[in-house]
């Protein structure tokens, strides 16, 4: 079986309000999939439905071929998750939390290894009521990874983490993914998601607007060259005179519309005795590509 | 299921209040034993012994607190998600909480009467547990019947507390109703006599069932309840099953 998760025609209503409409997507085994969309788009609701935390009006959710619903959880036996804020008992220590939820096959050394991977050694034996937001978040992440799950669902896992902790988490996710763990991650820090996720599911107002790969989404965005010359003002004017469609910047941005655009621009500049000092190849990042996609979706709706 | 029960016991055992309440219970029992020992004319050892040196009253409050918080704390601390997303169903989670609370109540009853018996041996060695207390019953048998009926009656209130905690996700509401229910029975018994005299079917209400221990101890209570001991026993069990059943249905649909 190649798909860890399969969602078909998932629908959810709160009263008369439609929260999710015909959501269908798959998560391939061993892949890191990013679930992206604006606040309130329905990311957390989808994740909660997958975890049997909320019911749904229509559709099916299967994990490794076994269906999941509000009262059918057997398929979740090898799933780890962190949804919204981590649930923490203030009177327990971090270590107590790990002991509480550890399955029989989880040894003390495995727990210690996890604690070290997330750099929680210093405070793991302190009561959780004294933990900062970031410390609680790390404990929530540790709980998600605790029982060596095959499939991990993380909702905004970088919330409250400092740059070092974000890096550590990225390392942990990458290591686990290389070992075969499947991930579904939502994050509003798209730069982080771009570094991790191979596949993307983009949702807007409770509907999937695209299921694609990160590579594909980035390559559909604008590509262009940034030129630096000995006389930028004159170079800009010359290129405009030769019908180049420039982007706004103090540098000269030549849209990479065809293979010859750079060569043609350079010819114009050299023929007019302008020295080209630097040429940089630029792509849209995930954030820009996504915003463009969402904007198109909005225009489509209008 | 055993994993879930172990988890619940682990959480309970890690709470400071669990151990603090144990100390409070034992200390108060010892203090009361000392007072009774010093002023035997003011307080009768027989009635105080029956109530486990007031331990029986005290443990009710501890159990109400535990019942009201065992469900609501999961929502208060946002830990319900941690429990619900795992492989266990909501029904299994709720039943594990019931079983834990049942074991917890057994712990309190055993502790209360072990300490009570210890205090009797230390301070009242001549107090005869085998003496006849009427109707051919010895004091020790009478005590067992009373404690057993009190246990069942407590559970009637506790299941209502559990139901309300589940329904309102609020410890405050559940605790208040538990405590009010406990005190209400003494206040409304007079009113109940009038009501039951007028409409006989009212005798089947849950408040009448709470008079079960009183009737076990003193059969004249039958004049108020219009029910036999067996009917009171069955009534308590039926109400417990109803309250747990409603709670189960609600909990199974609980979303987070």
Q: What is the mean pLDDT of residues A23-52?
A: 91
More confident residue, B191 or A134: A134
CA-based nearest distance A148→chain B, Å: 13
The rounded distance, in Å, linking the Cα atoms of A161 and A167 is 9
Q: Which residue has the tokens 């942990």?
A: A172
Helix and strand counts by DSSP (H, E) for chain B: 12, 0
Q: What is the mean pLDDT of residues A160-185?
A: 92
- Cβ contact, residue pair B89, A71, below 8 Å: yes
Quote the pLDDT of residue A300: 45
- Cβ contact, residue pair A81, B85, below 8 Å: yes
Per-residue confidence band for A257, with pLDDT thresholds at 50, 70 and 90: low
Q: Give the rounded percent of residues in chain A with a pLDDT score beyond 90.
A: 47
Residue A187 pLDDT greater than 80, yes or no: yes
Helix and strand counts by DSSP (H, E) for chain A: 10, 13
DSSP sequence for A17-41: EEEEEEEEEEEETT-EEEEE--TTS
Q: What is the mean pLDDT of residues B199-216?
A: 86
B87 close contact with A: CB closer than 8 A: yes
Residue A241 pLDDT greater than 90, yes or no: no
Quote the pLDDT of residue A253: 67
More confident residue, A36 or A283: A36
The torsion of the CA quartet A168, A170, A172, A176, rounded to 10 degrees, works out to -170
Residue B118 pLDDT greater than 60, yes or no: yes
Segments forming the whole domain that contains residue B188 = 2-253
How many domains is chain B built from? 1
Residue B14 pLDDT greater than 50, yes or no: yes
- Cβ contact, residue pair A87, B81, below 8 Å: yes
Q: Which long-range contacts (CB under 8 A, 24 or more apart) does B48-53 make?
A: B49/B116, B49/B120, B49/B124, B49/B127, B49/B139, B49/B143, B50/B142, B50/B143, B50/B146, B50/B217, B52/B112, B52/B113, B52/B115, B52/B116, B52/B147, B53/B28, B53/B29, B53/B115, B53/B116, B53/B119
Per-residue confidence band for B127, with pLDDT thresholds at 50, 70 and 90: confident
Quote the pLDDT of residue A258: 65
Q: What is the mean pLDDT of residues B162-179?
A: 82
- Cβ contact, residue pair A88, B16, below 8 Å: no
Quote the pLDDT of residue B25: 95
Query: Which of the given ranges, B53-57, B170-174, B177-181, has the highest pLDDT on average?
Result: B53-57
Quote the pLDDT of residue B187: 75
B13 close contact with A: CB closer than 8 A: no
Q: Are B240 and B105 in contact (CB under 8 A)?
A: no
A45 contacts: CB under 8 Å, gap ≥ 6 = A12, A19, A20, A54, A206
Per-residue confidence band for A79, with pLDDT thresholds at 50, 70 and 90: very high
More confident residue, A160 or B30: B30
The rounded distance, in Å, linking the Cα atoms of B149 and B50 is 12
Residue of B81, B90, B94 to mutate, testing the A interface (most A Cβ within 10 Å of its Cβ): B81
Residue B182 pLDDT greater than 80, yes or no: no
Chain B, 190-219: which have a CB under 8 Å from a chain A CB? none
Report pLDDT digits (tens) over B219-234: 777 777 888 999 999 9
B80 contacts: CB under 8 Å, gap ≥ 6 = A87, B74, B254, B256
Q: Give the rounded percent of residues in chain A with a pLDDT score beyond 70.
A: 90
How distant is the alpha carbon of residue B203 from its chain centre? 21
Query: What tokens were used for B111?
Result: 């502790």
pTM: 0.82
Helix pair angle (B171-198, B139-168), 10° resolution = 120
Q: What is the mean pLDDT of residues A234-248?
A: 81
Q: Which residue has the tokens 């034996």?
A: A125
B77 close contact with A: CB closer than 8 A: yes
More confident residue, A280 or A68: A68
Per-residue confidence band for A302, with pLDDT thresholds at 50, 70 and 90: very low
Quote the pLDDT of residue B239: 95
The rounded distance, in Å, linking the Cα atoms of A57 and A11 is 5
Q: What is the mean pLDDT of residues A221-229?
A: 76
Helix (H) / strand (E) element for A102: namely none
Per-residue confidence band for A301, with pLDDT thresholds at 50, 70 and 90: very low
Quote the pLDDT of residue A299: 53
Q: Which of A141, A239, A122 shows the shortest CA–CA distance to A185? A: A141
């Amino acid at each position: 079986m190649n798909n860890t998760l399969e969602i078909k025609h998932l629908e959810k209503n709160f009263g008369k309000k439609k929260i999710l409409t015909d959501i269908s997507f798959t998560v391939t085994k061993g892949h890191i999939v990013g679930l992206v969309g604006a606040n309130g788009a329905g990311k957390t609701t989808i994740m909660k439905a997958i975890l049997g935390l909320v019911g749904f009006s229509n559709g099916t959710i299967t994990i490794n071929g076994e269906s999941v619903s509000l009262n059918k959880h057997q398929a979740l036996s090898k799933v780890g998750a962190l949804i919204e804020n981590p649930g923490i008992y203030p009177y327990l220590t971090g270590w107590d939390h790990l002991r509480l939820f550890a399955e029989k096959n989880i040894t003390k050394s495995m727990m210690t290894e996890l604690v070290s991977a997330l750099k929680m050694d210093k405070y793991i034996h302190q009561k959780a009521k004294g933990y900062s937001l970031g410390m609680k978040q790390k404990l929530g992440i540790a709980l998600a990874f605790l029982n060596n799950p095959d499939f991990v669902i993380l909702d905004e896992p970088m919330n409250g983490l400092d740059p070092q902790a974000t890096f550590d988490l990225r390392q942990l996710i990458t290591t686990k993914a290389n070992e075969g763990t499947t991930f579904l991650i939502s994050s509003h820090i798209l730069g982080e998601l771009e570094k991790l996720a191979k596949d993307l599911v983009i949702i807007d107002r409770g509907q999937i607007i695209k299921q694609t790969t990160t590579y594909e989404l980035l390559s559909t965005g604008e590509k262009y060259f940034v030129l630096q010359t000995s006389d930028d003002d004159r170079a800009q004017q010359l290129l405009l005179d030769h019908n180049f469609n420039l982007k706004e910047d103090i540098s000269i941005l030549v849209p990479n519309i065809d293979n010859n655009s750079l060569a043609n621009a350079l010819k114009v500049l050299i023929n007019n005795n302008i020295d080209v000092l630097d040429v940089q190849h630029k792509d849209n990042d995930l954030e820009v590509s996504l915003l463009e996609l969402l904007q198109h979706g909005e225009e489509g709706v209008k | 299921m055993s994993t879930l029960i172990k988890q619940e016991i682990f959480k309970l055992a890690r709470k400071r209040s669990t151990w603090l309440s144990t100390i409070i219970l034992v200390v108060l029992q010892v203090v009361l034993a000392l007072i009774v020992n010093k002023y035997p004319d003011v307080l009768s050892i027989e009635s105080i012994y029956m109530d486990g040196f007031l331990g029986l009253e005290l443990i009710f409050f501890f159990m109400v607190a535990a019942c009201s918080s065992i469900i609501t704390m999961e929502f208060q601390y946002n830990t319900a998600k941690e429990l619900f997303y795992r492989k266990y169903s909501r029904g299994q989670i709720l039943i594990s909480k019931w079983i834990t609370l049942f074991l917890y109540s057994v712990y309190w009853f055993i502790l209360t009467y072990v300490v009570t018996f210890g205090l009797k041996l230390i301070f009242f060695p001549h107090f005869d547990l085998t003496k006849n207390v009427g109707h051919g019953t010895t004091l020790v048998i009478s005590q067992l019947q009373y404690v057993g009926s009190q246990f069942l009656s407590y559970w009637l209130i506790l299941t209502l507390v559990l139901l309300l905690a589940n329904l309102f996700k609020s410890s405050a509401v559940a605790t208040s109703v538990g405590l009010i229910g406990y005190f209400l029975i003494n206040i409304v018994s007079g009113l109940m006599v009038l009501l039951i005299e007028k409409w006989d079917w009212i005798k089947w209400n849950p408040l009448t069932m709470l008079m079960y221990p009183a009737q076990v101890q003193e059969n004249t209570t039958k004049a108020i309840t219009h029910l036999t001991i067996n009917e009171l026993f069955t009534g308590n069990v039926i109400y417990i099953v109803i309250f747990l059943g409603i709670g189960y249905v609600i909990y199974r649909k609980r979303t987070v």
